Amino acid sequence: MASIIRTEDLTYTYSIGTPFEKTAVNKVCLDIEEGTFSGIIGHTGSGKSTLIQHLNGLIKPTSGKVFIDGQDIWDKEVRIRDIRFKVGLVFQYPEYQLFEETVYKDIAFGPKNMGLTDEEIDRRVKETAELVGLKQETLYKSPFELSGGQKRRVAIAGVMAMEPKVLILDEPTAGLDPKGRDKILGQIKEYHRQKHITVLLVSHSMEDIAKFADKILVMNKAEVFCYEDTPDVFKRSDELAGIGLAVPQITKVFLDLKKRGIDIRTDVYTTEFAKKTILEYLERKGGAVNA
Amino acid sequence: MLKDITIGQYFPGRSAVHSLDPRFKIIITGVFIGMLFAADGFAALAVGLVFLAMSFIMSKIPFRLMLKSLKPIVPIIIFTSVLNIFFLDGAPLVKFGFIKITAEGLRTSAFMVIRIIALIMGSSLLTYTTSPITLTDAIERLLSPLKKINLPVHELAMMMTIALRFIPTLIEETDKIISAQKARGADMESGNILQRAKALTPILIPLFVSAFRRAEELAVAMECRCYQGGDGRTRLRQLRSEGKDYFALGVSIVFLDIVIMLNCIFG
């Protein structure tokens, strides 16, 4: 498969020449394949947010290159707005960007900027609204009347409605309750499945990433720590703990079991798989299993 | 893009100038401005410049930063110098038709330009070496005698502190909103004035909404901590004056005296 996102030695330094100078992203080389659902994880200040803002040209790298769909986005021929329609970026707390009189108009803002016809805009607004679970009558309300979770959905729909080839979400579930969190992530996964697009999900929660992402990009101190398939990343739990990242709690249980001398695999990161692994283990030991 | 705006323009450091009591720094800056305006001739002005150069070297502020502080007043400098060169009466040096350049004109113009530059550099030195919050503290203390005539000094200072405190926050917020709208394809760089003004709506509305939200949150937070104005409030950072503060003030007054003396000799 061709890589849709490619970075070469991407480096970005803030406030060059002042005492506040800081390299936020250091020589990052990435190849992200089309159609993958990747999670990005790392500490606060590890450069995640800066990295993703490079991918749609909001930040110009200090050095290095960014290719989207094989195109150098800072090439003179390329119109940066076209890149932004191709790579949709949902910021942290996106509900604070809502401004229109109605939810409908707000979702339509992106598609309108793309210069689409009214019918096409209408189709996209209604389709994405339904996808993120907004009722038809909500579309004609003011976004400021809605609850926090609903506002978030409107904002995410606003980016989805541009139907980008790559959808990047920066902590889309921050500040939501567990139910709202699962719902939004489920909808994003569903959208990924339906449209076969590439998704990058930035999150602090290992659990969320483990549950939804096929591949994980771990950032540490402005550099890429690793970018591998989800099971492979969790095989390196000890290293992850070494850079201060917590592995999912269920993985921790299995690591502890192993430490206590029980011969069991440790690349377990979802509850379903945990159940299966334990049952397998018990079977192997020849115990009676009735589950 | 908005990160380049430096408001308060504090440049952290540990120099002798940085560590002076801010109240004294404000007074010394006042004395320095006094020097510049008291000076009648170039000799007296030079004394003021020596004082500026001394403080500047001690502050260890990069020279390029000082030049940057002059950038906004370049038009004023040009305007004053042109005005003085061409419109001062006296014996003409050069003459083209109705335009004439006089020796007095050149002299006055040079004098004015140096004075303006020194003035801006001196006051920038104050803001470069003092954080805005400390500066407000100092202003509050310096103005506190005015409480006697019922001027709400503490409230004014608090307003200033809050305003200063929220400038970076709002800049950051604006930056974020601009990025978010750009990510949705908002176009702010092209079109005529009307279109550009319209393009600001997606930024201004969220910005106002969040400013009000923050104001409300702040008010609640202050009330929760029983804030009720300045009476009986103590401070976390006490301003203490030491020997070196009085020494620095003394030096500046000596310089002012020299300026006045030079005026008497040459005047």
Average pLDDT value for residue range B40-69: 90
Q: Quick check: A97 contacting B, CB < 8 Å?
A: yes
Mean pLDDT of chain B, nearest integer: 86
With bands split at pLDDT 50, 70 and 90, how would you rate the model's confidence at B8? low
Q: What is the pLDDT of residue A288?
A: 55
Cα separation of A85 and A83, whole Å? 5
Chain B CB contacts of A85 below 8 Å? 185
Domain locations in chain B as residue ranges: 2-266
Q: Which of A235-249, B19-33, B196-210 has the lowest mean pLDDT?
A: A235-249
Is residue B192 over pLDDT 60? yes
For A55, name the nearest residue in chain B, comparing CA atoms only. Answer: B183
pLDDT at B4: 46
What confidence score (pLDDT) does residue A108 get? 94
Q: Over 60: is that where the pLDDT of B21 sits?
A: yes
Give the pLDDT confidence score for residue B40 in this predicted structure.
87
Residue B64 has pLDDT above 90, yes or no: no
Q: Which of A209-223, A272-286, B183-197, B226-240 has the highest mean pLDDT?
A: A209-223
Stretch B20-42: mean pLDDT, rounded? 93
Closest-CA distance of chain B to residue A110, Å: 5
Question: How confident is the model at residue B168, as a pLDDT?
Answer: 80
Residue of B nearest to A80 (CA): B185
User: Is the pLDDT confidence value at B70 over 60?
Assistant: yes
Work out the number of other CB atoms within 10 angstroms of the CB of residue A135. 10
Among A10-19, B62-71, B92-101, the least confident range: B92-101
Residues of A with Cβ-Cβ distance to B182 under 8 angstroms: 58, 84
Q: Which of A233, A197, A200 has the alpha carbon at shortest distance from A7? A: A200
Q: Picking from A126-140, A200-214, B152-166, B187-201, which range would have the lowest pLDDT averaged per residue? A: B187-201
pLDDT for B5: 47
* Contacting B residues, span 223-262, partner chain A, CB-CB under 8 Å: none
Contacts of B181 in chain A (CB under 8 A): 97, 109
Residues B148-157, mean pLDDT to the nearest whole number: 88
Across the range B178-190, mean pLDDT stands at 86
Task: Walk along chain A (291 residues) in steps of 10 and give the mean pLDDT of each run.
Answer: 84 81 89 92 88 91 91 87 92 91 94 93 93 91 91 93 94 87 90 91 87 91 90 82 81 84 80 86 72 48
Q: What's the one-letter identity of residue A162?
A: M
CB-CB under 8 Å, A162 with B202: no
Judged by CB atoms closer than 8 Å, whether chains meet at A58 and B11 is answered as no
First to last CA, chain A: 41
**Percent of chain B scoring above 70 in pLDDT:** 97
Q: Compute the distance between CA of residue A27 and CA of residue A11 in angstroms, rounded to an integer.
A: 5
Of B11, B176, B184, the CB nearest to A110: B184
What does the DSSP assignment read for A169-200? EESTTTT--HHHHHHHHHHHHHHHHHHT-EEE
Inter-chain residue contact B202 with A113, CB threshold 8 Å:
no
Mean pLDDT for the stretch of residues B216-233 = 87
Interface check for A79 against chain B (CB to CB < 8 A): the answer is: no
Q: What is the average per-residue pLDDT within B10-25? A: 89
pLDDT at residue A250, as a whole number: 83
- How many Cβ pairs closer than 8 A exist between chain A and B? 61
Q: Do A162 and B184 touch (CB under 8 A)?
A: yes
pLDDT at B220: 95
Residue B1 has a pLDDT of 40
Q: Is B168 exposed, middle or buried (0-12, 13-18, 19+ CB in 10 A)?
A: middle
- Residue B108: count other Cβ atoms within 10 Å of its Cβ: 18
User: What average pLDDT score do residues B225-245 get?
Assistant: 83
